[in-house]
Structure 1
Protein backbone atom coordinates (compact mmCIF):
# COMPACT_ATOMS: atom_id res chain seq x y z
CA UNK A 1 0.00 0.00 0.00
CA UNK A 2 1.37 3.42 -0.83
CA UNK A 3 0.62 7.03 -0.03
CA UNK A 4 1.90 10.36 -1.31
CA UNK A 5 1.71 13.64 0.56
CA UNK A 6 -0.27 16.29 -1.30
CA UNK A 7 0.74 19.62 0.23
CA UNK A 8 -0.40 19.48 3.88
CA UNK A 9 -2.47 16.37 3.18
CA UNK A 10 -1.45 12.82 3.84
CA UNK A 11 -3.72 10.61 1.75
CA UNK A 12 -4.35 7.06 2.84
CA UNK A 13 -5.39 4.56 0.21
CA UNK A 14 -8.11 2.06 1.05
CA UNK A 15 -7.31 -0.72 3.50
CA UNK A 16 -9.14 -3.86 2.45
CA UNK A 17 -10.74 -6.00 5.13
CA UNK A 18 -11.30 -9.70 4.73
CA UNK A 19 -15.02 -9.22 4.10
CA UNK A 20 -14.58 -7.22 0.89
CA UNK A 21 -12.10 -5.95 -1.65
CA UNK A 22 -11.03 -2.31 -1.73
CA UNK A 23 -13.00 0.20 -3.74
CA UNK A 24 -16.23 -1.74 -4.02
CA UNK A 25 -15.00 -4.79 -5.94
CA UNK A 26 -11.55 -3.96 -7.29
CA UNK A 27 -8.22 -5.35 -6.13
CA UNK A 28 -7.39 -4.57 -2.51
CA UNK A 29 -4.35 -3.25 -0.78
CA UNK A 30 -2.48 -4.80 2.11
CA UNK A 31 -3.05 -4.42 5.83
CA UNK A 32 -0.78 -1.45 6.43
CA UNK A 33 -0.90 2.30 5.85
CA UNK A 34 1.77 4.98 5.66
CA UNK A 35 2.48 7.36 8.49
CA UNK A 36 0.62 10.60 7.97
CA UNK A 37 -2.63 8.80 7.29
CA UNK A 38 -4.92 7.74 10.03
CA UNK A 39 -7.30 4.85 10.23
CA UNK A 40 -7.91 2.00 7.83
CA UNK A 41 -10.90 2.19 5.54
CA UNK A 42 -13.71 -0.31 5.28
CA UNK A 43 -16.20 -0.80 2.46
CA UNK A 44 -19.81 -0.51 3.53
CA UNK A 45 -21.45 -3.76 4.52
CA UNK A 46 -23.96 -4.83 1.91
CA UNK A 47 -22.81 -2.41 -0.81
CA UNK A 48 -23.75 1.27 -0.78
CA UNK A 49 -22.96 4.32 -2.85
CA UNK A 50 -19.95 4.54 -5.10
CA UNK A 51 -16.83 6.37 -3.84
CA UNK A 52 -17.46 9.38 -6.11
CA UNK A 53 -21.03 10.08 -4.93
CA UNK A 54 -21.18 13.56 -3.40
CA UNK A 55 -22.62 14.19 0.02
CA UNK A 56 -26.20 15.40 0.05
CA UNK A 57 -27.56 18.02 2.42
CA UNK A 58 -29.67 15.36 4.12
CA UNK A 59 -26.77 12.98 4.70
CA UNK A 60 -26.34 12.36 8.40
CA UNK A 61 -22.90 13.40 9.69
CA UNK A 62 -20.61 10.74 11.10
CA UNK A 63 -19.56 11.57 14.64
CA UNK A 64 -15.87 10.88 15.37
CA UNK A 65 -14.27 10.70 18.80
CA UNK A 66 -10.67 9.92 19.67
CA UNK A 67 -9.00 7.93 22.40
CA UNK A 68 -5.32 8.60 23.08
CA UNK A 69 -3.27 11.78 22.94
CA UNK A 70 -0.26 13.05 21.01
CA UNK A 71 0.58 15.57 23.75
CA UNK A 72 4.11 15.41 25.08
CA UNK A 73 7.03 17.15 26.83
CA UNK A 74 10.43 16.26 25.38
CA UNK A 75 13.86 17.09 26.78
CA UNK A 76 16.88 17.10 24.48
CA UNK A 77 19.72 14.73 25.32
CA UNK A 78 20.64 11.09 25.76
CA UNK A 79 19.09 10.86 29.23
CA UNK A 80 15.55 11.35 27.95
CA UNK A 81 13.30 9.65 25.44
CA UNK A 82 12.18 11.47 22.34
CA UNK A 83 8.73 11.07 20.80
CA UNK A 84 7.56 7.47 20.67
CA UNK A 85 4.67 5.82 18.79
CA UNK A 86 1.34 6.59 20.45
CA UNK A 87 -1.82 4.53 20.03
CA UNK A 88 -4.69 6.64 18.70
CA UNK A 89 -8.17 5.19 18.28
CA UNK A 90 -10.92 6.79 16.24
CA UNK A 91 -14.49 5.79 17.00
CA UNK A 92 -17.31 6.36 14.54
CA UNK A 93 -20.92 6.49 15.67
CA UNK A 94 -22.04 4.72 12.52
CA UNK A 95 -20.63 2.93 9.49
CA UNK A 96 -20.16 4.98 6.30
CA UNK A 97 -22.66 4.15 3.54
CA UNK A 98 -19.96 3.28 1.04
CA UNK A 99 -16.23 2.85 0.63
CA UNK A 100 -14.25 5.29 2.74
CA UNK A 101 -10.77 6.71 2.18
CA UNK A 102 -9.51 8.27 5.44
CA UNK A 103 -7.31 11.36 5.10
CA UNK A 104 -5.52 13.24 7.84
CA UNK A 105 -4.71 16.90 7.34
CA UNK A 106 -1.33 17.52 8.99
CA UNK A 107 -0.91 21.17 8.04
CA UNK A 108 2.02 21.74 10.44
CA UNK A 109 3.75 18.48 9.43
CA UNK A 110 4.16 17.36 13.04
CA UNK A 111 4.02 13.63 12.26
CA UNK A 112 7.33 11.83 11.73
CA UNK A 113 7.65 10.11 8.33
CA UNK A 114 10.83 8.21 9.20
CA UNK A 115 8.96 5.26 10.69
CA UNK A 116 7.48 4.44 7.29
CA UNK A 117 4.32 2.37 6.86
CA UNK A 118 2.44 1.39 10.00
CA UNK A 119 -0.58 -0.82 10.53
CA UNK A 120 -4.15 0.16 11.28
CA UNK A 121 -6.45 -2.31 12.99
CA UNK A 122 -10.23 -2.37 13.00
CA UNK A 123 -11.85 -3.20 16.31
CA UNK A 124 -14.97 -5.29 16.79
CA UNK A 125 -16.85 -2.09 17.63
CA UNK A 126 -15.98 -0.55 14.26
CA UNK A 127 -13.24 1.71 15.62
CA UNK A 128 -9.83 2.07 14.02
CA UNK A 129 -6.52 2.20 15.85
CA UNK A 130 -3.03 3.13 14.73
CA UNK A 131 0.32 4.17 16.14
CA UNK A 132 1.27 7.77 15.30
CA UNK A 133 4.61 9.38 16.16
CA UNK A 134 5.23 13.13 16.53
CA UNK A 135 8.34 14.42 14.80
CA UNK A 136 11.18 15.64 17.03
CA UNK A 137 11.54 19.40 16.63
CA UNK A 138 15.08 20.79 16.71
CA UNK A 139 13.71 24.30 17.22
CA UNK A 140 12.77 24.41 20.88
CA UNK A 141 9.38 25.68 21.92
CA UNK A 142 5.69 24.80 22.08
CA UNK A 143 3.77 23.37 19.14
CA UNK A 144 0.00 23.37 19.40
CA UNK A 145 -2.60 22.61 16.77
CA UNK A 146 -4.95 19.99 15.44
CA UNK A 147 -4.83 17.08 13.05
CA UNK A 148 -8.05 16.83 11.04
CA UNK A 149 -9.51 13.48 10.05
CA UNK A 150 -11.52 13.45 6.82
CA UNK A 151 -13.54 10.53 5.50
CA UNK A 152 -13.31 10.75 1.73
CA UNK A 153 -15.44 8.92 -0.81
CA UNK A 154 -12.70 8.67 -3.43
CA UNK A 155 -8.88 8.55 -3.46
CA UNK A 156 -8.58 12.23 -4.45
CA UNK A 157 -11.12 13.32 -1.82
CA UNK A 158 -13.33 15.04 -4.38
CA UNK A 159 -16.28 14.14 -2.16
CA UNK A 160 -16.41 13.60 1.60
CA UNK A 161 -18.69 12.10 4.18
CA UNK A 162 -19.83 14.88 6.53
CA UNK A 163 -18.20 14.45 9.93
CA UNK A 164 -18.49 15.97 13.39
CA UNK A 165 -15.56 15.93 15.83
CA UNK A 166 -12.81 14.94 13.40
CA UNK A 167 -10.15 17.22 14.97
CA UNK A 168 -7.40 15.64 17.10
CA UNK A 169 -5.66 18.39 19.14
CA UNK A 170 -2.01 18.15 20.14
CA UNK A 171 0.29 20.06 22.48
CA UNK A 172 3.98 19.34 22.10
CA UNK A 173 6.82 21.04 23.94
CA UNK A 174 10.54 20.61 23.16
CA UNK A 175 13.15 21.97 25.59
CA UNK A 176 16.91 21.87 26.16
CA UNK A 177 18.49 19.77 28.88
CA UNK A 178 19.96 21.53 31.90
CA UNK A 179 23.40 22.84 30.90
CA UNK A 180 26.08 24.29 33.20
CA UNK A 181 29.06 26.48 32.37
CA UNK A 182 31.60 27.98 34.76
CA UNK A 183 33.98 30.92 35.03
CA UNK A 184 37.15 31.14 37.07
CA UNK A 185 38.24 34.69 37.90
CA UNK A 186 36.01 35.90 35.05
CA UNK A 187 37.34 33.52 32.36
CA UNK A 188 35.47 30.58 30.88
CA UNK A 189 36.49 27.17 32.24
CA UNK A 190 37.51 24.05 30.33
CA UNK A 191 37.28 21.00 32.58
CA UNK A 192 39.62 18.04 32.90
CA UNK A 193 37.48 16.08 30.46
CA UNK A 194 37.77 18.82 27.85
CA UNK A 195 34.18 19.96 28.34
CA UNK A 196 33.31 23.63 28.45
CA UNK A 197 29.76 22.74 29.54
CA UNK A 198 27.96 19.75 31.04
CA UNK A 199 24.39 18.48 30.97
CA UNK A 200 22.34 16.22 33.23
CA UNK A 201 24.32 13.41 34.82
CA UNK A 202 27.66 15.05 34.02
CA UNK A 203 30.20 16.90 36.17
CA UNK A 204 32.50 19.74 35.12
CA UNK A 205 35.79 19.39 37.06
CA UNK A 206 38.43 22.08 37.33
CA UNK A 207 41.04 23.43 39.75
CA UNK A 208 40.61 26.68 41.67
CA UNK A 209 43.01 28.06 44.26
CA UNK A 210 42.12 29.73 47.55
CA UNK A 211 40.72 33.21 47.06
CA UNK A 212 39.62 32.53 43.49
CA UNK A 213 36.26 33.78 42.26
CA UNK A 214 34.03 31.06 40.80
CA UNK A 215 30.78 31.55 38.90
CA UNK A 216 28.47 28.76 37.69
CA UNK A 217 25.63 29.43 35.27
CA UNK A 218 22.63 27.37 34.18
CA UNK A 219 20.55 27.72 31.03
CA UNK A 220 17.30 27.00 32.94
CA UNK A 221 16.06 27.75 36.48
CA UNK A 222 17.63 25.40 39.03
CA UNK A 223 17.98 24.89 42.76
CA UNK A 224 21.62 25.23 43.81
CA UNK A 225 23.33 23.16 46.50
CA UNK A 226 26.96 23.85 47.44
CA UNK A 227 28.74 21.13 49.43
CA UNK A 228 32.32 20.74 50.66
CA UNK A 229 33.31 17.09 50.17
CA UNK A 230 35.92 15.90 52.66
CA UNK A 231 37.18 19.41 52.94
CA UNK A 232 37.03 22.50 55.09
CA UNK A 233 37.52 24.61 51.98
CA UNK A 234 34.28 26.21 50.91
CA UNK A 235 32.65 28.39 48.30
CA UNK A 236 31.49 31.49 50.11
CA UNK A 237 28.45 32.45 48.02
CA UNK A 238 28.20 36.17 47.36
CA UNK A 239 25.52 36.19 44.66
CA UNK A 240 22.80 33.73 43.70
CA UNK A 241 19.76 33.54 41.37
CA UNK A 242 17.94 30.54 39.97
CA UNK A 243 20.31 30.52 36.97
CA UNK A 244 23.58 31.71 38.52
CA UNK A 245 25.66 31.23 41.64
CA UNK A 246 28.97 32.96 42.39
CA UNK A 247 31.40 33.18 45.28
CA UNK A 248 34.97 33.08 46.54
CA UNK A 249 36.98 30.00 47.54
CA UNK A 250 37.63 30.15 51.28
CA UNK A 251 40.70 28.19 52.47
CA UNK A 252 40.67 25.45 55.08
CA UNK A 253 43.12 22.94 56.58
CA UNK A 254 41.54 20.02 54.70
CA UNK A 255 41.93 20.55 50.97
CA UNK A 256 39.21 18.48 49.34
CA UNK A 257 36.75 19.29 46.60
CA UNK A 258 33.74 21.59 46.55
CA UNK A 259 30.62 20.35 44.72
CA UNK A 260 28.00 22.62 43.18
CA UNK A 261 24.80 20.75 42.31
CA UNK A 262 22.11 22.16 40.03
CA UNK A 263 18.67 20.51 40.15
CA UNK A 264 16.11 21.82 37.64
CA UNK A 265 13.15 23.58 39.24
CA UNK A 266 10.83 21.95 36.69
CA UNK A 267 10.07 18.52 38.16
CA UNK A 268 9.71 17.02 34.69
CA UNK A 269 13.52 17.04 34.56
CA UNK A 270 14.77 13.91 36.32
CA UNK A 271 18.51 14.51 36.68
CA UNK A 272 20.85 17.15 38.06
CA UNK A 273 24.15 18.45 36.72
CA UNK A 274 27.14 19.51 38.78
CA UNK A 275 30.50 21.25 39.02
CA UNK A 276 33.42 19.96 41.12
CA UNK A 277 36.01 22.52 42.20
CA UNK A 278 39.32 20.81 43.00
CA UNK A 279 42.21 22.16 45.10
CA UNK A 280 45.55 23.09 43.58
Structure 2
Protein backbone atom coordinates (compact mmCIF):
# COMPACT_ATOMS: atom_id res chain seq x y z
CA UNK A 1 0.00 0.00 0.00
CA UNK A 2 1.15 3.49 -0.79
CA UNK A 3 -0.31 6.47 1.04
CA UNK A 4 -0.24 10.22 0.69
CA UNK A 5 -2.25 13.35 1.24
CA UNK A 6 -4.35 15.76 -0.73
CA UNK A 7 -2.77 19.19 -1.07
CA UNK A 8 -3.03 22.18 -3.36
CA UNK A 9 -1.55 21.97 -6.84
CA UNK A 10 -3.50 23.86 -9.42
CA UNK A 11 -7.09 23.16 -8.45
CA UNK A 12 -6.61 20.05 -6.31
CA UNK A 13 -3.81 17.54 -5.88
CA UNK A 14 -2.92 14.28 -4.19
CA UNK A 15 0.72 13.19 -4.14
CA UNK A 16 1.70 9.57 -3.52
CA UNK A 17 4.88 7.60 -3.98
CA UNK A 18 4.64 4.49 -6.13
CA UNK A 19 7.68 2.40 -5.33
CA UNK A 20 8.69 -0.48 -7.56
CA UNK A 21 5.80 -0.28 -10.00
CA UNK A 22 7.54 -2.56 -12.46
CA UNK A 23 8.36 -2.00 -16.08
CA UNK A 24 11.22 -0.17 -17.73
CA UNK A 25 13.78 2.33 -16.50
CA UNK A 26 17.28 3.55 -17.18
CA UNK A 27 18.38 5.99 -19.85
CA UNK A 28 15.94 4.74 -22.45
CA UNK A 29 12.43 5.21 -21.08
CA UNK A 30 9.69 3.24 -22.84
CA UNK A 31 6.39 4.95 -23.52
CA UNK A 32 4.14 4.96 -20.46
CA UNK A 33 0.41 4.53 -20.99
CA UNK A 34 -2.56 4.59 -18.64
CA UNK A 35 -6.17 3.56 -18.63
CA UNK A 36 -8.85 3.99 -15.95
CA UNK A 37 -11.90 2.14 -14.74
CA UNK A 38 -14.52 3.49 -14.41
CA UNK A 39 -14.14 6.01 -17.19
CA UNK A 40 -15.66 8.54 -16.86
CA UNK A 41 -15.87 8.83 -13.09
CA UNK A 42 -19.42 9.67 -12.00
CA UNK A 43 -20.79 10.49 -8.55
CA UNK A 44 -24.07 11.74 -7.12
CA UNK A 45 -24.43 13.25 -3.65
CA UNK A 46 -26.53 15.60 -1.56
CA UNK A 47 -25.52 19.08 -0.43
CA UNK A 48 -24.01 18.88 3.07
CA UNK A 49 -24.69 15.16 2.98
CA UNK A 50 -22.45 12.19 3.74
CA UNK A 51 -19.18 11.81 1.88
CA UNK A 52 -19.20 9.84 -1.36
CA UNK A 53 -16.13 7.90 -2.42
CA UNK A 54 -15.55 6.41 -5.86
CA UNK A 55 -12.96 3.67 -6.25
CA UNK A 56 -10.86 4.01 -9.40
CA UNK A 57 -8.41 1.55 -10.90
CA UNK A 58 -5.49 2.79 -12.96
CA UNK A 59 -3.63 0.40 -15.24
CA UNK A 60 -0.10 1.64 -15.97
CA UNK A 61 1.87 0.11 -18.82
CA UNK A 62 5.70 0.35 -18.71
CA UNK A 63 5.77 2.02 -15.29
CA UNK A 64 9.33 2.91 -14.16
CA UNK A 65 11.02 0.63 -11.62
CA UNK A 66 12.31 3.59 -9.62
CA UNK A 67 10.20 5.51 -7.09
CA UNK A 68 7.57 7.57 -8.86
CA UNK A 69 5.63 10.43 -7.29
CA UNK A 70 2.10 10.33 -8.60
CA UNK A 71 0.22 13.60 -8.58
CA UNK A 72 -3.50 13.65 -9.28
CA UNK A 73 -4.60 17.09 -10.45
CA UNK A 74 -8.25 18.18 -10.70
CA UNK A 75 -9.13 21.13 -12.91
CA UNK A 76 -11.40 22.44 -10.11
CA UNK A 77 -11.66 21.77 -6.34
CA UNK A 78 -14.18 18.91 -6.35
CA UNK A 79 -12.35 16.43 -4.11
CA UNK A 80 -11.70 16.30 -0.36
CA UNK A 81 -8.33 17.04 1.14
CA UNK A 82 -6.79 14.56 3.58
CA UNK A 83 -5.35 11.06 3.56
CA UNK A 84 -5.27 9.12 0.33
CA UNK A 85 -4.29 5.46 -0.03
CA UNK A 86 -3.27 3.48 -3.10
CA UNK A 87 -3.06 -0.30 -3.27
CA UNK A 88 -1.54 -2.47 -5.99
CA UNK A 89 -4.15 -5.07 -6.96
CA UNK A 90 -2.24 -6.69 -9.82
CA UNK A 91 0.87 -6.16 -11.92
CA UNK A 92 0.66 -2.58 -13.15
CA UNK A 93 -2.84 -2.10 -11.71
CA UNK A 94 -3.43 0.30 -8.82
CA UNK A 95 -6.60 1.14 -6.91
CA UNK A 96 -7.54 4.28 -4.98
CA UNK A 97 -10.67 6.04 -3.74
CA UNK A 98 -11.57 9.55 -4.83
CA UNK A 99 -13.58 11.28 -2.08
CA UNK A 100 -15.86 13.97 -3.44
CA UNK A 101 -15.96 17.27 -1.55
CA UNK A 102 -18.97 17.64 0.75
CA UNK A 103 -18.91 21.44 0.47
CA UNK A 104 -19.98 21.63 -3.17
CA UNK A 105 -23.08 23.68 -3.95
CA UNK A 106 -25.95 22.05 -5.81
CA UNK A 107 -25.24 21.62 -9.50
CA UNK A 108 -23.37 19.48 -12.02
CA UNK A 109 -19.59 19.59 -12.17
CA UNK A 110 -17.66 18.14 -15.09
CA UNK A 111 -14.02 18.22 -16.00
CA UNK A 112 -10.88 16.09 -15.86
CA UNK A 113 -8.52 14.55 -13.37
CA UNK A 114 -4.95 14.23 -14.65
CA UNK A 115 -2.55 11.67 -13.21
CA UNK A 116 1.04 12.92 -13.51
CA UNK A 117 4.03 10.68 -12.81
CA UNK A 118 6.83 12.80 -11.35
CA UNK A 119 10.49 12.04 -10.80
CA UNK A 120 10.75 14.10 -7.61
CA UNK A 121 8.49 15.35 -4.81
CA UNK A 122 8.32 18.85 -6.29
CA UNK A 123 7.36 17.41 -9.69
CA UNK A 124 10.07 19.51 -11.30
CA UNK A 125 10.56 16.68 -13.77
CA UNK A 126 8.00 14.14 -14.91
CA UNK A 127 7.55 11.20 -17.23
CA UNK A 128 5.71 11.52 -20.52
CA UNK A 129 2.43 9.65 -20.16
CA UNK A 130 -0.45 9.00 -22.53
CA UNK A 131 -4.05 8.38 -21.55
CA UNK A 132 -3.64 9.99 -18.13
CA UNK A 133 -6.81 12.14 -18.22
CA UNK A 134 -9.89 10.83 -16.41
CA UNK A 135 -13.13 12.72 -17.15
CA UNK A 136 -15.55 13.19 -14.25
CA UNK A 137 -19.20 14.18 -13.86
CA UNK A 138 -20.33 14.99 -10.32
CA UNK A 139 -23.98 15.76 -9.61
CA UNK A 140 -24.87 17.50 -6.35
CA UNK A 141 -28.56 17.53 -5.44
CA UNK A 142 -29.98 19.90 -2.81
CA UNK A 143 -31.42 18.42 0.36
CA UNK A 144 -35.21 18.16 0.29
CA UNK A 145 -36.94 21.16 1.86
CA UNK A 146 -40.69 21.72 2.18
CA UNK A 147 -42.64 24.95 2.63
CA UNK A 148 -46.32 25.12 3.51
CA UNK A 149 -49.29 27.45 3.30
CA UNK A 150 -52.83 27.20 4.62
CA UNK A 151 -55.61 28.91 2.68
CA UNK A 152 -52.97 30.79 0.71
CA UNK A 153 -51.09 32.07 3.77
CA UNK A 154 -47.52 30.93 4.42
CA UNK A 155 -47.50 28.84 7.59
CA UNK A 156 -44.57 27.65 9.67
CA UNK A 157 -44.26 23.97 10.53
CA UNK A 158 -42.97 22.87 13.93
CA UNK A 159 -41.34 19.43 14.31
CA UNK A 160 -42.92 18.24 11.05
CA UNK A 161 -46.42 18.92 12.44
CA UNK A 162 -49.08 21.30 11.12
CA UNK A 163 -52.48 21.96 12.69
CA UNK A 164 -55.44 23.06 10.49
CA UNK A 165 -59.23 23.27 10.67
CA UNK A 166 -61.59 21.02 8.77
CA UNK A 167 -62.16 22.43 5.29
CA UNK A 168 -58.80 24.21 5.11
CA UNK A 169 -56.76 24.07 1.92
CA UNK A 170 -53.15 23.04 2.51
CA UNK A 171 -50.39 23.66 -0.04
CA UNK A 172 -46.90 22.18 0.21
CA UNK A 173 -44.00 23.09 -2.08
CA UNK A 174 -40.78 21.11 -2.55
CA UNK A 175 -37.46 22.46 -3.77
CA UNK A 176 -36.75 19.22 -5.70
CA UNK A 177 -38.96 16.82 -7.68
CA UNK A 178 -40.73 14.33 -5.41
CA UNK A 179 -43.44 11.68 -5.41
CA UNK A 180 -46.32 12.67 -3.13
CA UNK A 181 -48.51 10.32 -1.10
CA UNK A 182 -51.18 11.07 1.50
CA UNK A 183 -52.79 8.81 4.08
CA UNK A 184 -55.63 9.68 6.46
CA UNK A 185 -56.11 8.49 10.05
CA UNK A 186 -59.31 8.89 12.08
CA UNK A 187 -59.46 10.64 15.43
CA UNK A 188 -58.20 8.68 18.44
CA UNK A 189 -60.94 10.33 20.50
CA UNK A 190 -63.60 8.12 18.90
CA UNK A 191 -63.43 4.37 18.43
CA UNK A 192 -63.45 3.36 14.73
CA UNK A 193 -63.78 7.01 13.69
CA UNK A 194 -63.94 7.84 10.00
CA UNK A 195 -60.67 9.23 8.56
CA UNK A 196 -60.74 12.74 7.10
CA UNK A 197 -61.29 13.22 3.39
CA UNK A 198 -58.32 14.40 1.35
CA UNK A 199 -59.38 16.13 -1.85
CA UNK A 200 -56.34 16.83 -4.00
CA UNK A 201 -56.96 19.97 -6.05
CA UNK A 202 -53.51 20.34 -7.63
CA UNK A 203 -50.36 18.25 -7.81
CA UNK A 204 -47.04 18.47 -9.63
CA UNK A 205 -43.62 17.00 -8.91
CA UNK A 206 -42.80 20.03 -6.77
CA UNK A 207 -46.17 21.07 -5.30
CA UNK A 208 -49.21 19.52 -3.66
CA UNK A 209 -52.50 21.18 -2.74
CA UNK A 210 -55.49 19.56 -1.11
CA UNK A 211 -58.57 20.28 0.99
CA UNK A 212 -58.76 18.35 4.27
CA UNK A 213 -62.24 17.69 5.64
CA UNK A 214 -63.28 15.76 8.72
CA UNK A 215 -66.22 13.40 8.56
CA UNK A 216 -69.55 14.85 9.71
CA UNK A 217 -69.98 14.59 13.47
CA UNK A 218 -66.34 13.61 14.08
CA UNK A 219 -64.85 14.41 17.47
CA UNK A 220 -61.22 15.26 18.21
CA UNK A 221 -58.33 15.71 15.86
CA UNK A 222 -57.85 13.43 12.87
CA UNK A 223 -54.56 13.21 11.00
CA UNK A 224 -53.30 13.29 7.44
CA UNK A 225 -49.75 12.12 6.75
CA UNK A 226 -48.31 13.73 3.62
CA UNK A 227 -45.08 12.13 2.41
CA UNK A 228 -42.60 13.47 -0.15
CA UNK A 229 -40.14 11.00 -1.66
CA UNK A 230 -37.38 12.61 -3.77
CA UNK A 231 -36.90 11.28 -7.26
CA UNK A 232 -33.13 11.19 -6.62
CA UNK A 233 -32.05 7.70 -5.63
CA UNK A 234 -30.82 7.55 -2.04
CA UNK A 235 -32.15 10.96 -1.01
CA UNK A 236 -34.14 10.80 2.26
CA UNK A 237 -37.92 11.28 2.23
CA UNK A 238 -39.84 13.69 4.44
CA UNK A 239 -43.26 13.43 6.00
CA UNK A 240 -45.61 16.09 7.33
CA UNK A 241 -48.25 15.22 9.92
CA UNK A 242 -51.31 17.45 9.54
CA UNK A 243 -53.76 17.52 12.42
CA UNK A 244 -57.32 18.30 11.28
CA UNK A 245 -59.61 19.71 14.00
CA UNK A 246 -63.41 20.11 13.64
Q: How high is the TM-score relative to the length of structure 2?
A: 0.78
| Contact kept? 1:96, 1:161, Cα under 8 Å | no
1:164 is aligned to 2:123: no
Once the two structures are superposed, what CA deviation does each residue of 1:57-105 show, in whole Å capped at 9, x if it has no partner?
xx5421111235742111246xx63223x43332211132755332222
Q: Which moved more, 1:141-150 or 1:184-193?
A: 184-193
Distance 1:223 1:6, change over 3 A: closer
Residue 113 of structure 2 aligns to a residue whose secondary structure is strand
Once residues 209 and 89 of structure 2 are traced to their aligned partners in structure 1, the CA distance between those partners, rounded to angstroms, is 60
- Per-residue deviation at 1:47? 6.7
Partner of 2:237: 272
Residue 82 of structure 1 aligns to a residue whose secondary structure is coil
Once the two structures are superposed, what CA deviation does each residue of 1:231-251 show, in whole Å capped at 9, x if it has no partner?
442232222222112233333
**1 or 2, which has the higher strand percentage?**
2
Q: 1:244 is matched with which residue: 199, 207, 222? A: 207
1:134 is aligned to 2:97: no
Once residues 39 and 96 of structure 1 are traced to their aligned partners in structure 2, the CA distance between those partners, rounded to angstroms, is 12
Residue 121 of structure 2 aligns to a residue whose secondary structure is coil
- Give 5+ residue unaligned stretches, structure 2: 187-193
1:37 is aligned to 2:6: no
1:88 is aligned to 2:52: no
Partner of 2:164: 208
Once the two structures are superposed, what CA deviation does each residue of 1:113-142 show, in whole Å capped at 9, x if it has no partner?
1xx333333445133333331212331111
Q: 1:100 is matched with which residue: 62, 65, 68? A: 68
Partner of 1:71: 42
Q: How high is the TM-score relative to the length of structure 1?
A: 0.70
Q: Which moved more, 1:168-177 or 1:62-71?
A: 62-71
Partner of 1:191: 157
- Per-residue deviation at 1:215? 1.0
| Contact kept? 1:41, 1:102, Cα under 8 Å | no
Residue 165 of structure 2 aligns to a residue whose secondary structure is coil
Question: Over aligned residues, Cα RMSD in angstroms?
Answer: 3.0
- Per-residue deviation at 1:108? 0.7
Distance 1:99 1:40, change over 3 A: closer
Partner of 1:21: none
1:224 is aligned to 2:177: no
- Give 5+ residue unaligned stretches, structure 1: 11-35, 50-55, 194-203
Q: 2:31 is matched with which residue: 25, 39, 61? A: 61
Once the two structures are superposed, what CA deviation does each residue of 1:141-183 show, in whole Å capped at 9, x if it has no partner?
1111111111223333343322111112221111112222211
Once residues 43 and 243 of structure 1 are traced to their aligned partners in structure 2, the CA distance between those partners, rounded to angstroms, is 53
